[in-house]
Structure formats: C-alpha cells, structure tokens
Structure 1
C-alpha cells in the first residue's frame, strides 16, 4: 500500500540534486519498541496465545504474520490476529513511539539536497503514516507491507538510488533495487551482519547520515 505524503523541496548539493533516498521505518526512523511490547502482550492475553511482546519488539523487521506464526499461532487465526493487532495499534503504540536520533535531520538533509524521501516499510501503511504525522516527519512517499527483497519494487518505482535500514532484509531490498545499501545498527542486526549482507557503509545512528550524504557522488580517495 502506497501513501503520498507532504512534498518537500529545497536547495541542492551540486551532484546530488534530485536524489531520491529510501528509508526503513521501525528502528531506522522511529523507535516503537515499548508500544510493540504492550500491543503484542495484550493481543496474547486477548487471544489466549503465547505471544511474547518482548521478543517481538527486540526483533522488529519481518512481517507481522510471520512473527505470529513464529509464536505458534494457528494459520486459520492469522487474519483475525493481524486485523486485531492493527486495530489496537494506534492507541497503544503511536503515542509512546519516539523518533530515532538523527531521523529528522536525515530527512532534512535530503530535502536540502533538493531530493525526495521514500519510506518503504513492512508496517501497515495507515499505521505507519500515523507515526510520521505524530512525530512531524515529512516524507514524499510512504509504501507499506513490503519486506526484504519485496521492497525493491517500490524503491525502483520511485527511483531511489539509496536505501537506509537497520535489518539485513533492508540491505537485500536495496541491493535488489540497485540502490546503495546503507545500514544503521539501531535495530536487531550488528554492523558485521549488515556489512556481510552487502551494506556499502554502516552507521551507529542516522546522525551520521547528513555528513555521508554531503559527500555522496564525489570521487573517493
């Protein structure tokens, strides 16, 4: 599902004008972990299933249905559980979610370069948009419910030449789209794991991204 958000514009670095940069959402731009713990544990109590919110929140990335299967949820109950999770989400998760360090500055850096930002996430797009709106994070396009190499279709469609994410699945998606894969170690994957998957560079946080963008496209060495 794709949602077009408020457009942004601006000046430009000389050879980065017009660049489109893709970002993952959970644990890249936002930290929803406290709310994720709460909503999954509440769903477990309500459904009578052994759902582990702490484990779920510590391993964000894979699709919700895959996580539910991992907890042993019966296949026939997956659709109702997904629907209920999404319904509980806005009041439980959105109010307690915070932006990751450097998130706003990273988006601003792309805007100042005269570029566009595309958020491609595995999250249900309407709930993802609630996060962006609540935190005042303006992006040009939001595409939801895509995971790992599935993200390549949206990145290609919107012309992203860079994709930033915290999971090895994000690196796979970037590579499949022919985009420069950038990793951040703010999620469940280590620097070594992200580099082994093919990340071009790995940051400790998005606070390092504007500096990297300012030299992107310039000759190395």
Structure 2
C-alpha cells in the first residue's frame, strides 16, 4: 500500500496572491475599514478572522466580513490563481507510487475546491478551515505520513500529527525558519518533490530510517 501525503494549499500548491490583494482591498473599500490587500497576500496562512483582527476590524463585524469575503472570493480570486511549479507533478508522484493525497488547508473548503477544480489538481481528500496544530486531526484521521507546506504553522501541524514535515520556500517563510521549526527537509519548490519522494517512499530495510537527506545539503 502506498503512502498518504498531505499538502497545504495556498503558496504550496497554488499562488492566489493577485486575487487575494484584490478581494481584501475591495472588502476594505466596501466596509470602510483599513484592510491591506498587499500585506494580507504576502502573509497567507493564518485564519481570515485573525488577519481581519490584525487590521483593526471590530470584533462584532468579523462574522459579516468573513461571510462577505467568502462570497466575493469565487469571482475575484479563483480566475486569476495559478498552480505553483511542480504542483501537478507532486500530486502525480504520490498517486504513481500507489499513495493518496490529502489537502488540509485553512481556507474555506468550498472555495478551496473551486481552485482545485479550476486548475485540474486531483486530490483524494480535501479538508478546510484548519490552521497550524489543528491540521493534525485531519492528517491523523486520513493516515498522512508526510505533510508538505510553506508556513511554520504547517510544520507544527505535521509534527503534531507525527507526520514528516516537508517545507517549501514558495511562501512567506525561509528555509532557515522552516528548519528551525522542525521541518525534516525544505525544498525550493514542488518541482523537487518527486525526486525527494521517490527516495522517501522506497521500501526500507529493517532498521533503516524513513528520513531522507535534504537535497540542498
């Protein structure tokens, strides 16, 4: 039986930043609040409500703002989002080895599915609205042995689930930061994932570690 691998979505499999700038700025204009789309898009990862609080949105307005953001999202963000280099190949590498793919993301699941469908990224399971160590519940439930993400929160989620944390530097966190947080390996992008995974997924001799060396040394 193959290995189940979990992937984060934003800045791991997809790059939604142009649309994120646009939707947050539009929400700011509509709501009369000082929402900063550029800052938001450059720091994707934390839950939307936390980001809104960081911009000074009043607590009593958070639910309406989240609802409106999610309603605007399909038309503003999905059409201008692209798959990151190596995303499709990474998912294919897992399937080709007889494994399963699980996307665990902080994003609202219906909008996450719109991205996957629009970009033709096929996954076995999608779980949304989980962040950092909250992701461990889904990773454990689906038996993920590896979790790939761009954020320190992704590393924390993998470790909490007992999965191998694989970092990618396509998001806001550097290689040094991801390694310091506990990532086993950090890739420049998912283009490097199939090579790493082919070594990781090899049948192991008794007593041989599952951990593979960092391809970057």
TM-score by length of 2: 0.93
For residues 214 and 126 of structure 1, the distance between their equivalents in structure 2, rounded to whole angstroms, comes to: 32
Residue 18 of structure 1: how far off its partner (Å): 1.9
CA contact under 8 A between 2:3 and 2:201: conserved in structure 1?
Answer: no
Aligned-residue RMSD, C-alpha: 1.4
CA–CA separation in structure 2 for the residues paired with 1:178 and 1:91? 37
Residue matched to 1:113: 97
Q: Secondary structure at the match of 2:202?
A: coil
Aligned counterparts of 2:125 and 2:157: Cα–Cα separation in 1 = 17
> What SS does the aligned partner of 1:161 have?
strand
Assess if the C-alpha contact under 8 Å between 2:148 and 2:167 holds in 1.
Answer: yes
- Report what 2:4 is aligned to: 20
Unmatched 5+ stretches in structure 1: 1-16
Q: 1:97: how far off? A: 0.1
* Unmatched 5+ stretches in structure 2: 205-216
Q: Give a deviation string over 1:17-57, Cα, whole Å, max 9, x none.
A: 42000000000000000000000000000000000000000
Structure 2: distance between partners of 1:85 and 1:181:
31
Q: Report the Cα offset of residue 217 of structure 1.
A: 4.6
The 4+ residue runs of structure 1 with deviation greater than 6 A are: none
Query: Which position in structure 1 is the counterpart of 2:25?
Result: 41
Q: Please give the alpha-carbon distance, in whole angstroms, between the structure 2 residues aligned to 1:204 and 1:144.
A: 25
Equivalences for residues 182-197 of structure 1 within 5 A: 182-197=166-181
Distance between the aligned counterparts of 1:103 and 1:113, measured in 2? 16
What is the count of residue pairs matched by the alignment? 205
Q: How far off its partner does 1:219 sit?
A: 8.6
* Distance in 1 of aligned mates of 2:72 and 2:203: 49
1:141-166 Cα offsets, whole Å, 9 max, x none, are 00000000000000000000000000
Which protein has greater RCO, CA pairs closer than 8 Å, 6+ apart?
1
Query: Could you tell me the TM-score, scaled by structure 1's length?
Result: 0.91
Q: Aligned with 1:114: secondary structure?
A: coil
